[in-house]
């Protein structure tokens, strides 16, 4: 819930900050969902485990989100009505699930059990 409030606040301040908030969420949501008491410390353990791969994953996530926002913007202009809304929600849902699963797997590999 706090991450949603931070993202909305970032959107009110400046649109590019939303991207930063979403990328921060990709790093912090897996340890929070794991029930970890310190998601900042354990969330950023993925950088200690494989810094280049994590930075690469963040770059890929950034590009995927930018392309997704561009597609949603184009759909808003060229496809109207319920179809555009349904396609946009479906696309962002699929992208969100894929990115969260990818970063959850990175978190699992970085934390010892």
Instruction: Choose from 6-10, 26-30, 75-79 the range with maximum mean pLDDT.
Output: 26-30
Distance between CA atoms of 59 and 102, rounded to whole angstroms?
13
Which pLDDT belongs to residue 112? 76
Name the band, by pLDDT with cuts 50, 70 and 90, for residue 89: confident
Task: Determine the average pLDDT of the residues in 7-25.
Answer: 85
DSSP structure string for the chain: -HHHHHHHHHHHH-THHHHHHHHHHHHHHHHHHTT-S-HHHHHTHHHHH-HHHHHHHHHHHHHHHHHHHHHHHHHHHHS-SHHHHHHHHHHHHHHHHHHHHHHHHHHHHHS--
> Are the CB atoms for 113 and 97 separated by under 8 Å?
no
Which pLDDT belongs to residue 57? 93
Considering the entire predicted model, what is its pTM?
0.82
């Amino acid at each position: 819930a706090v991450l949603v409030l931070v993202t909305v606040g970032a959107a009110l301040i400046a649109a590019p900050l939303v991207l930063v908030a979403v990328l921060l969420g990709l790093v912090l949501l897996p340890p929070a969902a794991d029930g970890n008491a310190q998601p900042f410390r354990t969330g950023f353990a993925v950088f200690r485990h494989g810094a280049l791969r994590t930075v690469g994953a963040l770059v890929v996530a950034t590009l995927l989100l930018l392309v997704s926002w561009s597609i949603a913007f184009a759909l808003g202009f060229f496809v109207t009505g319920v179809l555009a809304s349904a396609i946009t929600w479906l696309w962002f849902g699929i992208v969100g699930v894929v990115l969260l699963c990818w970063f959850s797997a990175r978190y699992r590999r970085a934390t010892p059990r």
